[in-house]
């Protein structure tokens, strides 16, 4: 088995494809938070680390401090910046009233200061909707990156893609890609072809390479950007991310569980070029 096949099987087989993109985002958040706060955080314990709300509130205060430093160094800006932080109890234990109060304070800060996607306290504390919580935290990271806060790799990939689209639209010379992307891109097409090869349709579901990391898919030639995030092949569609495996499960006729789940790529998802310069949110069909 080639190294590419091994990596692909490692990342895909343990998950239902509908769960893999959430795992990939949690993994990215865990690594980012661990780096920012010098903590031992991984995909398996990230929700446990965050469920008391203490680190979330500390992060809100950190984002607020970075925003304040940005204004002091750069002057007035049209970027929406948080003006105040939150109070919280750092010693709160999981599932207690104090933990719930911390999480609620973070949610209120997100609504008041960042105007981002919302989640409810039980989405985190009782794991009722992990996706909403993860999307909210990523959106906070996305907005904070605009005024200098370190960001998860997914956000960096978004910025890289948006820069590429901007260069094409304005006919600007291409900027050098980060070394990380240059290394990953060498294996990307092989991993894409491995996933596409699983199609059993009489006529293979079309996915044509346009340039490095850019493909046209389906009969409508929808344009998508594809990147490697650790062991996951991620696809940027519209304003969000999905794994390529999950995307193909929804659009490749032979992989759909029923006709009702098979989607027209163009009817539900806009190409990145159509939404490149608009505010981005993580939205999944």
**What pLDDT shows up at residue 222?**
83
> Which CATH class name applies to 173-275?
alpha beta
Whole-angstrom distance, CA of residue 261 vs CA of residue 249: 9
Share of the chain above pLDDT 70, in %: 78
Topology alike, domains 11-151 and 173-275? no
Say what angle helices 54-74 and 17-37 make with each other, to 10 degrees: 70
pLDDT, tens digit (0-9, with 9 covering 90-100), for 6-62: 333 333 334 466 688 899 999 999 999 999 999 999 999 999 999 999 999 999 999
For the chain, domain boundaries: 11-151, 173-275
N-terminal to C-terminal alpha carbon distance within the chain: 34
Whole-angstrom distance, CA of residue 221 vs CA of residue 83: 44
Q: Quick one: average pLDDT of 107-134?
A: 92
**What pLDDT shows up at residue 93?**
97
* Token pair for 217: 């898919």
Range of weakest confidence among 8-12, 17-21, 193-197, 215-219: 8-12
- Determine if the pTM surpasses 0.75: yes
CATH architecture of 11-151: Orthogonal Bundle (1.10)
């Amino acid at each position: 088995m080639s190294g590419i096949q091994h990596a692909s099987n490692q990342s895909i087989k343990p998950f239902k494809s509908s769960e893999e993109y959430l795992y990939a985002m949690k993994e990215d958040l865990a690594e980012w938070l661990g780096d920012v706060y010098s903590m031992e955080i991984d995909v398996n314990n990230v929700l446990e680390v965050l469920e008391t709300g203490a680190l979330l509130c500390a992060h809100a205060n950190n984002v607020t401090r970075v925003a304040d430093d940005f204004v002091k160094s750069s002057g007035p800006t049209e970027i929406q910046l948080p003006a105040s932080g939150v109070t919280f109890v750092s010693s709160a234990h999981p599932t207690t009233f104090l933990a719930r109060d911390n999480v609620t304070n973070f949610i209120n800060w997100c609504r008041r200061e960042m105007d981002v996607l919302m989640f409810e306290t039980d989405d985190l504390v009782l794991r009722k909707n992990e996706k909403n919580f993860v999307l909210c935290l990523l959106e906070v990271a996305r907005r904070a990156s605009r005024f200098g806060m370190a960001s998860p790799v997914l956000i960096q990939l978004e910025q890289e893609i948006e820069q590429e689209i901007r260069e094409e639209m304005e006919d600007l010379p291409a900027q050098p890609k980060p070394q990380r992307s240059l290394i990953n891109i060498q294996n990307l097409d092989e991993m894409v072809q491995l996933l596409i090869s699983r199609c059993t349709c009489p006529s293979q579901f079309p996915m044509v390479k346009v340039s490095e990391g850019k493909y046209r898919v389906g009969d409508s030639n929808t344009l998508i950007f594809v990147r490697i995030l650790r062991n996951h092949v991620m696809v940027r569609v519209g304003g969000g991310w999905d794994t390529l495996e999950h995307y193909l499960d929804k659009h490749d006729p032979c992989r759909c569980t029923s006709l009702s789940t098979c989607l027209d790529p163009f009817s539900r998802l806009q190409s990145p070029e159509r939404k490149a310069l608009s505010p981005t949110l993580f939205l999944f069909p």
